A and B are shown apart, each in its own frame.
Chain A
Amino acid sequence: EAEVAQSPRYKITEKSQAVAFWCDPISGHATLYWYRQILGQGPELLVQFQDESVVDDSQLPKDRFSAERLKGVDSTLKIQPAELGDSAMYLCASSLGSMLENEQFFGPGTRLTVL
């Protein structure tokens, strides 16, 4: 069964360091999403790609966060410098498209702990 792949699964870093997360969506899925999930809450959308283009990054803290999907397939989310408040689960999801009934399928996530 096709799955969204993410790595690493866990990351521990010190504040002010740089971290990067990788996501490989389900083959053929044009739309890719990065979410942040704080314990006890639902996921919060950070950025949405359609192929290699950013569709929505209105919730992305652009002073420290960046995301790219250069060839329209896999994607990288970077945080530099990391802050204590960035500790969370970072989830990647993909869908065939952004139209109705093209639902999102999630990867296992990367658990980030900033010390």
Chain B
Amino acid sequence: GQQLNQSPQSMFIQEGEDVSMNCTSSSIFNTWLWYKQEPGEGPVLLIALYKAGELTSNGRLTAQFGITRKDSFLNISASIPSDVGIYFCAGRRGSNYQLIWGAGTKLIIKP
């Protein structure tokens, strides 16, 4: 099915570093969501964005709804070991309430 372009595919970082990932599309979206999935578990909703330009934080996580409505960014500050997992973006277009998903960004923290 249709997917969003999510990058990078994976990240290897040191504990304490800041992390940035993004999701882009050629189409306009009216909702952007960011989920985190740990091995063997279902995705957990982190942040939901509904307005172009919106900037929302959840602890050390900050996400933005791009002004063009075609992209979104997720930043994690001062990463810690429990941040390890796969981060998925998902979005909605027009009047269709179904979610379109990115392929995920795998975050690995080097010891």
What's the tally of chain A residues with a CB closer than 8 Å to chain B? 26
B101 to chain A, nearest CB (A): 3
In the complex, which residues 34-81 of chain A have their Cβ closer than 8 Å to any Cβ of chain B?
Answer: 40-45, 48, 56, 59
Residue B48 at the A interface, CB < 8 A?
yes
Tell which of B31, B44, B104 touches A106, judged by Cβ atoms closer than 8 Å: B44
By beta carbon, the residue of chain B nearest A106 is B42
Q: Are A98 and B99 in contact (CB under 8 A)?
A: no
Q: Are B45 and A109 in contact (CB under 8 A)?
A: no
Neighbouring A residues of B31 by C-beta, 8 Å: 100
Number of A-B contacts (CB under 8 A): 56
Neighbouring B residues of A4 by C-beta, 8 Å: 42
Q: Report how far A107 CA is from B40 CA in the complex, Å.
A: 11
By beta carbon, the residue of chain B nearest A59 is B1
| 25 A–B contacts from the bound complex (CB under 8 Å) | A6-B42, A9-B40, A41-B104, A43-B43, A43-B101, A44-B1, A45-B1, A45-B98, A45-B99, A48-B98, A56-B98, A93-B42, A99-B97, A100-B30, A100-B31, A100-B97, A101-B48, A103-B33, A103-B45, A104-B45, A104-B99, A106-B35, A108-B40, A109-B40, A109-B41
| Chain A residues near B (Cβ < 8 Å) | 4, 6, 9, 40-45, 48, 56, 59, 91, 93, 98-101, 103-109, 111
